[in-house]
Amino acid sequence: DAGITQSPRHKVTETGTPVTLRCHQTENHRYMYWYRQDPGHGLRLIHYSYGVKDTDKGEVSDGYSVSRSKTEDFLLTLESATSSQTSVYFCAIRRQADQPQHFGDGTRLSIL
């Protein structure tokens, strides 16, 4: 398995609180991605990174920000969580574009 660790694995928090999810890789892959998975929607891209300090928005980026200060870590932040952000969040990595992605086991986030 690709060396990807997501933390925390589960989190319950209240509306309006800030939340940060972490994705850590040991593969030294250039590209990192955050997706959310919701019933009836499949996986949707939130943000992605193509290098240290290089990030861009995905399909559903509103309400989320990311940071990548070093190759191995990609952080996803919900500045003020809303109930609509209750979801399962997946991080993925890949060595180069047009190659397969490798996924972490996800973070189940509940916003009450």
Partner 1 sequence: SQQGEEDPQALSIQEGENATMNCSYKTSINNLQWYRQNSGRGLVHLILIRSNEREKHSGRLRVTLDTSKKSSSLLITASRAADTASYFCATDGGGADGLTFGKGTHLIIQP
Residues 20-49 binding partner 1 (CB under 8 A) are 31, 33, 35, 40-45, 48
Relative to beta strand 107-111, strand 10-13 is: parallel
SS3 4: strand
Q: Choose between 24 and 44: whose C-beta lies nearer to partner 1.
A: 44
Q: Choose between 15 and 75: whose C-beta lies nearer to partner 1.
A: 75
- Distance of alpha carbon 99 from alpha carbon 95, whole angstroms: 7
Residue 12 β-bridge partners: 110
Residues 44-103 binding partner 1 (CB under 8 A) are 44-45, 48, 50, 56, 58-59, 90, 92, 97-103
Q: How many helices and strands, by DSSP H and E, does the chain display?
A: 0, 11
Residues engaged in binding partner 1 (CB under 8 A): 4, 31, 33, 35, 40-45, 48, 50, 56, 58-59, 90, 92, 97-106
